[in-house]
Amino acid sequence: MSVTTIQYRPACLVAIIVCLLIPGCKHPPENPDHPRFAEQVSLAVDSMLNSGHMKEVPHFLDSVYATLSAPGEHDLWVKYDYLANYYIFYRRNMPLARANLDSMFRSLKGREKIYPDDYASTLYRQGEVNMADKQYSQAFRSYFSGKQFVQKYLDTCDYGKFSSKLGVVEYNQGKYMEAIPHFKQAFAEYQHCTDPKDFGNLFLFPQADLNSIALCFERAGQLDSAIYYYQEALRFINTAVLKFPDKKKFAETASGVVYGNLGGTYAKKGNFTTAEFYLKENIRINDRPGYAVEDAQTAKLKLIRLYLANNRFPEANDLLTRMGSDLDAEKGKGIMGDNIKVQWLQLKWTYLDKTGNLPGAYLYSQRYYHVKDSLNEINAGLKEADLDAGIRDAEQQYQIALLHKNNQLKTSYLSAAIIFSVLTILILFLLWKNLRRSNKNVKELIALNRQVEEKNHDTLETLKALEQSHQENTRIMKVVAHDLRNPIGAITSLCELMLQENHHNEEDKSMLEMIRSAGQSSLHLISDLLHYTVQYELKKEPVELYELIHYCVDMLQLKAAEKQQHIELQTTHITININREKIWRVFSNLLSNAIKFSPNNTLIQITTTTSPGHVTIAVKDQGIGIPDEMRSKIFDLFTEAKRPGTGGERPYGMGLAIAKQISEAHGGAIWFDSLPGEGTTFYVKLPLN
């Protein structure tokens, strides 16, 4: 079934001929084909066929081609293809159809691979000629050969129409179950089409194949399977029309056809109510001009049978009468109309017989047999056609083609093997040449490696000497520090005792206080130096963090009070595994720095926060902050980033370096945020476990 919106008009034909007579409308002379010419011819002929002016097609083609001085192969092929189609389906003149088919083959002789689409369509047309001429085995071979050619030279999308035609031949033979695989294969092959504007391959043909599968199941007596595929066809139509909104009329017509088939299937199952509904839907849609009127007549025949089977004689008679009038008005519609006529005669005969009108029944039975005998003569030959032989011949041709293809593949493989062998020899030669060159390079590398090993040995010896020197320096530093602690401690203690005496004048007291202060500073410096240079093993124990920090605050509270500073402690009670003395030293250094570098009457805050696996302690002051140029140096030992405190306190520069060493030895970290003139916050992060 083909539905088109193009309508033929004489004025349109004149416009096309005038355009073709103008040189500018033709294709450039260097190309023997004229695509625009062929396109305009196709539009005009399709319009004529669909508008009922089919008798004018041969004269139109002769006239319009007379205006083309040098038609190309494709141009001529288009003409012969339309003429062959015309004589097959509109005039039933098989000699003329075959003559134009021969012309199609001649126009493409030797150019089959240049025009693969045209040649495949020619084989398809040959199958249609053979089918119309009742040469069914030859038709099968034509379709089979066409599919072989398409598989070799065209896209998968082009396979479908040949697979579908093979199914049609099997169906016409009454081999319904053998036809189903062909229709299913055709439907699957149409799914490979990708052109979104390809209405035929994406909508028209696939829905027809689903309907054909259902018909095969229905004819084979598998009614449930038939209903399933009819429903699948309806679902496909409803989905496909969304991609082609301009084809709503076609979708409605196609749905009507499926409704009619569903009605017939439900009637066979004995479900008369559902059958009547679907048959009436078919008649409502397709029994009007421009739609599938003949299909609606088939639905009427099914509905009449339904009424007769249920003894609904008035409804059957009414539909028979109206249908009889329509058939009389449509005489000469061809074989399809004759088939409907013979079924109507049989139903009229049955109705008259059931209602007791025996003379009328006898009259219509005679007319029925007369028309049926005429149709049997026309259709004779189909069942006797040697289709199996045709299939065997086609399969043999296919096997021969496969053997030829295998030979070509073997030749290709042999050529590839020879090329691979030559390349292998060449690669081996290059490898041998590179190997000789590599041997020389290896010798040079061995000599260089020996030199590197000697340098490495010297470096290791130097490192050992440095390590030994470092250990010796550490030992000396430890001895010196310990030896200095005792006399300096004694000096500090004597100063303490002397300051407790009251007979010293103010100048002596000032000198003693300076000696005491210098001694205490020296002791602090020696302690820091010992701590940094002497390696130690951390001895950890569970420590309540709040108590440890609170102890630090208590120890330094008096020092903060001297500068009217307030220390605020906001920590949680949490126990962690640390070295009490070392961590105390960290917070003591941080808190001492906060007091030292903060002005009077300021707040120092100590807070703790916990996160998965860690606890972070923050010491925040409102002091002088850390300038940008000192940020990278404050954790260095003996750093130059030293400044006196806000009260003139003397800096040593080792406290933060020691705090960093202790924090990292515990698996933690220390860092800070600072704004000059606004304050500094130091963070110490320690693991919970």
SS (H, E, C) 266-321: HHHCCCHHHHHHHHHHHHHHHCCCCCCHHHHHHHHHHHHHHHHHCCCHHHHHHHHH
What does the mean pLDDT of the chain come to?
81
Predicted confidence at residue 13, as pLDDT, reads 41
For the ranges 26-30, 179-183, 471-475, 639-643, the maximum mean pLDDT occurs at: 179-183
**In the chain, ranges of CATH 1.10.287 domains:** 405-535
pLDDT of residue 176: 92
Q: How many CB atoms are located within 10 Å of the residue 254 CB?
A: 28
pLDDT digits 0-9 by tens, 164-194: 888 888 888 788 999 999 999 999 988 988 8
Q: What is the fold, at CATH topology level, of the domain defined by 539-687?
A: Heat Shock Protein 90 (3.30.565)
Range with lowest mean pLDDT among 24-38, 281-295, 613-627: 24-38
Is residue 402 predicted with pLDDT exceeding 60?
A: no
Mean pLDDT: which of 154-163, 294-303, 320-329, 489-498 is highest? 294-303
Where along the chain do the CATH 3.30.565.10 domains lie?
539-687
Say what the pLDDT of residue 488 is.
79
Between 54 and 298, residue with greater pLDDT: 298
| CB-CB contact of 535 with 661 (8 Å) | no
Total residue length of the chain: 689
Q: How do residues 63-104 score in pLDDT, each as one tens digit? A: 999 988 888 889 899 999 999 999 988 888 899 999 999 999
C-alpha–C-alpha distance, residues 179 and 186, integer Å: 11
| Structure-model confidence comparison of residues 48 and 378, the more confident one | 48
Instruction: Label the pairing between strands 541-544 and 575-578.
Output: antiparallel
Between CA 610 and CA 308 the distance in angstroms is 91
The percentage of residues in the chain with a pLDDT greater than 90, rounded to a whole number, is: 33
Residue 290 pLDDT class (50, 70, 90 cuts): confident
Confirm if 29 and 71 have CB atoms less than 8 A apart: no
Sheet holding 566-570, edge to edge: 566-570, 603-611, 614-620, 679-687, 669-675
pLDDT bin (cut points 50, 70, 90) of residue 408 is: low
pLDDT at 114 over 70: yes
Most trustworthy range by pLDDT among 140-154, 327-341, 495-509, 662-676? 662-676
- 310 has a pLDDT exceeding 90: yes
Q: What is the pLDDT of residues 435-444, one digit of tens each?
A: 888 888 888 8
Average pLDDT over residues 523-533: 63
**Res 574 pLDDT > 80:** yes
- What's this model's pTM, rounded to 2 decimal places? 0.49
Average pLDDT over residues 369-379: 71
Is residue 503 predicted with pLDDT exceeding 60?
yes
CATH number belonging to domain 405-535: 1.10.287
Which residues are CB-neighbours of 152 under 8 A, at least 6 positions away? Answer: none
- pLDDT score recorded for residue 673: 93
Of 73-82, 404-413, 679-688, least confident by mean pLDDT is 404-413
Alpha carbon dihedral 442, 447, 453, 454, in 10-degree steps, equals 180
pLDDT tier at 497, thresholds 50, 70, 90? confident
pLDDT (average), residues 193-205: 89
Q: Report how far residue 539's alpha carbon sits from residue 533's, in angstroms, rounded to the nearest whole number.
A: 18
